[in-house]
A and B are shown apart, each in its own frame.
Chain A
Amino acid sequence: RKEVEQDPGPFNVPEGATVAFNCTYSNSASQSFFWYRQDCRKEPKLLMSVYSSGNEDGRFTAQLNRASQYISLLIRDSKLSDSATYLCVVNPGGSYIPTFGRGTSLIVHP
């Protein structure tokens, strides 16, 4: 089993749609979790951190379920500009190496 797994998609949705991505991780000792966004031919950029209590930033909501070892990202009212690849990152903390999922591709069409 891979350490961090994501559905690669692509998720093809119309503008205004709500879309959700999940990411599962295998290391139960993982300490911090993030969603990154990567645009074509660019570096990944932090979208949001993920906390046990869940967090929301505008149209984006992230949730962490430690018991089931997954994190989720919900995007409401999708915009064309949301089209990108969304990377799930699990950080074991300490001197351990953060682990990336392979990314989920989102395409928002008019």
Chain B
Amino acid sequence: GAVVSQHPSWVICKSGTSVKIECRSLDFQATTMFWYRQFPKQSLMLMATSNEGSKATYEQGVEKDKFLINHASLTLSTLTVTSAHPEDSSFYICSAPGLGEGNTIYFGEGSWLTVV
């Protein structure tokens, strides 16, 4: 079964509105989670590292005021796309390093965002 759950799976919103995506670790605590964006036929692009109890670390070129990340608990990180525009339409995926051997990385199911 899934160890990282992401919600919603898909969302359609109007330009200018905000959308929140949740990422939950199930059965384990994640002090760190990662948020990625993937455009069609392109590779995963790391957007930011979400740190429980502290500010997220954003990758170069990612606007922190536009992509708000909150990691208020050890099992939940949220990504809010503010003032969404059509070019923000993408597949957003979260992940968390698991426990145990090799620090396997577990992914959420992903969220398809379409901004119209």
**Chain A contact surface mostly:** loop
Q: Are A89 and B110 in contact (CB under 8 A)?
A: no
Interface stretch (choices A14-22, A40-48, A67-75) = A40-48
Q: Which residues of B contact A61 (CB under 8 A)?
A: none
Of A44, A45, A91, A102, which one neighbours B103 at CB under 8 angstroms? A91
Using an 8 Å CB-CB cutoff, how does the interface string of B90-115 with A read, 1 for contact, 0 for none?
A: 01010001000111111111101000
Chain B interface size, under 10 / 10 to 19 / 20 to 34 / 35 or more? 20 to 34
Query: Of the candidates A31, A42, A93, which one forms a contact with B110 in the assembled complex, judged by CB atoms under 8 Å apart?
Result: A42
A98 to B10, CA, bound (A): 26
Chain A residue numbers with a CB within 8 Å of B109 are 42-43
Total chain A interface residues with beta-carbon distance under 8 A = 22
Query: Is B34 part of the contact surface with A, judged by Cβ < 8 Å?
Result: yes
Q: Is the CB of A44 within 8 A of B91?
A: no
- The interface residues of chain B lying within 8 Å CB-to-CB of A97 are 34, 46, 49
B interface footprint on A46-72 (CB within 8 Å = 1, 0 otherwise): 100100000000000000000000000
B108 and A100 contacting across the interface, CB-CB below 8 Å: no
A45, A100, A101 — which one has the most chain B CB atoms within 10 A of its CB? A100
Asked if A106 is at the interface (CB within 8 A of a chain B CB), the reply is no
Residues of A within 8 A of B32 (CB): 95
Q: Could you say which residues of chain A place their CB within 8 Å of the CB of B91?
A: 41
Decide yes or no whether A107 CB sits under 8 A from chain B: no
B104 / chain A contacts, CB cutoff of 8 Å: 34, 46, 49
When chains A and B are docked, how far (Å) is the Cα of A47 from the Cα of B53? 32
Determine the chain A residues whose CB is within 8 A of the CB of B101 once the complex forms.
Answer: 49
- A interface list, Cβ under 8 A from B: 31-32, 34, 36, 41-46, 49, 87, 89, 91, 93, 95, 97-98, 100-103
B interface residues with partner A (beta carbon < 8 Å): 6, 32, 34, 42-44, 46, 49, 91, 93, 97, 101-110, 112
- In the A-B complex, the 6 residue pairs with the closest CB atoms: A102-B43, A32-B102, A43-B107, A43-B110, A49-B102, A100-B44
